[in-house]
Each structure stands twice: as structure tokens, then as C-alpha cells.
Structure 1
Amino acid sequence: MRAKITYLITAAVLAFYFVLVGSRGLLLIKHGTLLTVTFGVAVLILPVIGVWFLWKNTRFVTKANRLAAELEAEGALPVDELVRDEYGRVLRESADEVFARRRAETEATPQDWRSWFRLAVAYHDARDTPRARKAMQHAIALHDSRPVPAP
């Protein structure tokens, strides 16, 4: 729940920033000189990129949470079996061991979005965020492309 609140606050602050920067860009364009119009257009590009980035990340998080909820309903969410040190940090050897099992599971069932989801969690636990994100994107793609069961 704390992560959702943090995400919402960050998104709201970014949205405010995009509006503020966008209004400054429009003011520069309204000034009407070649230099201010050029700067105004350049300034307007930043909020456009930011809104796109925020939208893509929000969609990604929403879809990943939907998969997590589905796994939770099935009772198939990955169990936290990581060994931690006295400060609560995951021990590297423990993360590597869990990762090896998750990778083997995914290699055995490469079309199962559930195994890709669990692999993404293992990548995250091993602090490999780029690969965790790619594995989760693959899980989402597999989930979204599966045939919908007839009612």
C-alpha cells in the first residue's frame, strides 16, 4: 500500500511539473521571437516525453499488479524464501539459488506467463532491474495473448 501511495504522489508531482513546464513553454511561444519560439517548442517537448513515460510506466505497473492478483487468487504467488542478513538485506547466494530454480522452471515451460512472472521476481530479488522488467513484460505479453476461456 505504501508503494501505491508513493507512486500516486510522485505521479501527481510530475503531472504538476508537466503543467508548469508546459505553461512556460507556451509563454515563450507567445512572446513571438524566433529565439523564444524555438525555446518554447523545445520546452514543450519535455512534458510530452514525460507524460508518455509516466503513461507507459503506469500501464506496466497496472498490468503487473493484475498478474500478481491473478496469481494470488490461484495461490501461486512466489513465496519469499530468501535468506537475509541481520540488516534485512537479501544474501546474494540465496537470491542466486532462487534465481537458478526460477530460470530452470521458465526454461521448462517457456510459454507459461506464471513462470515468467516468478522469474521477474527472482531477477528483482537478485537486483537485476532491467532483466526483471523485460521478464515481466514478457509475462504480460504471454498473459495478454493467451486465448480467453469460453464462459
Structure 2
Amino acid sequence: MTSKAGAILMAVLLALYVVLVGWRAVQFMATGEPVAVGIGLALIVLPVIAAWALWREILFGVRSQALMRRLEDEGGLELEIPVKPSGRPERSAADAAFPAFRDAAEAAPDSWRAWLRLGLAYDAAGDRRRARGAVRRAITLERAER
């Protein structure tokens, strides 16, 4: 299953969940009992938080993919990191190549291209948290550039 199909499936399941939990929340609040009303309010707030988090992730995915396509069209997407037969980058090669990407981002702190490539290098090295941070910075810089 592709990540796009997975995200769509999660969004559909979340929508179903919100509807069902929302209906249960209305039923709880209709009783008028203070504890039931509190439970009903909690049942409304939690799905809203979940929907916000899912929306944020989908938006991150859409924006990062748009930047990847743009960088690929410009010919700057190739990282020159060897990959295994499975398509995953070789971690040792990614670790060895990483300082060049970090130095490029430090040399051009306002370049979304450098930050996106740094995010891809972080991902290849297995550091997903920093990869997401670098890609978020690239998105912010690209939006400011427009």
C-alpha cells in the first residue's frame, strides 16, 4: 500500500470514528448528568485533536512531495548515496555523506533546496525526527520565497 493510499484510508477511518464518537457524545450530553456531560465533551474534544493532527500530517506530506517534485525537476534530488537492492539507502554511506549536506545547509541557511536535501540525508541516515524538522524548515523557506 502506498503512503498516499494509507493516508486516505486513515482519513476515511478517522471521519467514521468522529461521526460515531460524536453521536455517542451527543447521547451522553443529552442525559443531563454532570459526569455524562463531561464524558460527552471529552468525546468531542479528542476526535477534534486527532483530526487536527491528521490534517497537519497530510498537509506536511503534500507540501513535502511538492518540494520533492520541484527539486527533481531542477535536477537536484539525486543524493549520490548508494542504495540496497530493496531501495533503502546504505546507512554507512549515508552517514559518510551526511556532513556535506549539513555543511551545505549551514552555508546557505535560507535555501529551501539545501534544507530539503539535508532532510533527505537525515532520513537516509535513519534520523526521522531531524529529517522531518529539516523538511519543515525547507517548506517554510520555500513558502517565504514565493
Question: Does structure 1 retain, via aligned residues, the 8 Å contact 2:81–2:89?
Answer: no
User: Are 1:131 and 2:103 matched, yes or no?
Assistant: no
**How many residue pairs align between the two structures?**
146
Q: CA deviation at 1:50?
A: 0.7
User: Are 1:43 and 2:43 matched, yes or no?
Assistant: yes
RMSD: 1.9
What is the identity percentage for the equivalent residue pairs of Structure 1 and Structure 2? 38
Gaps of 5+ in 1: none
TM-score (normalizing by structure 1): 0.87
TM-score (normalizing by structure 2): 0.89
Gaps of 5+ in 2: none
User: Are 1:144 and 2:118 matched, yes or no?
Assistant: no
Range moving further from structure 2, 38-47 or 15-24: 15-24
Q: CA deviation at 1:36?
A: 0.5
Sort the Cα spacing of 1:83 and 1:39 in 2 relative to 1 into closer, same or farther, 3 A.
same
Q: CA deviation at 1:120?
A: 0.6
Question: Does structure 2 retain, via aligned residues, the 8 Å contact 1:18–1:50?
Answer: no
Aligned residue in 2 for 1:21? 21
Aligned residue in 1 for 2:68? 68
User: Are 1:108 and 2:123 matched, yes or no?
Assistant: no
Runs of 4+ aligned residues of structure 1 deviating over 3 Å after TM superposition are: 86-91
Q: CA deviation at 1:81?
A: 2.0
SS of 1:82's equivalent in the other structure is coil
SS of 2:64's equivalent in the other structure is helix
Range moving further from structure 2, 1-10 or 119-128: 1-10
Q: CA deviation at 1:49?
A: 0.2
Sort the Cα spacing of 1:73 and 1:90 in 2 relative to 1 into closer, same or farther, 3 A.
closer
Give, in whole Å, the separation in 1 of the partners of 2:72 and 2:83. 22
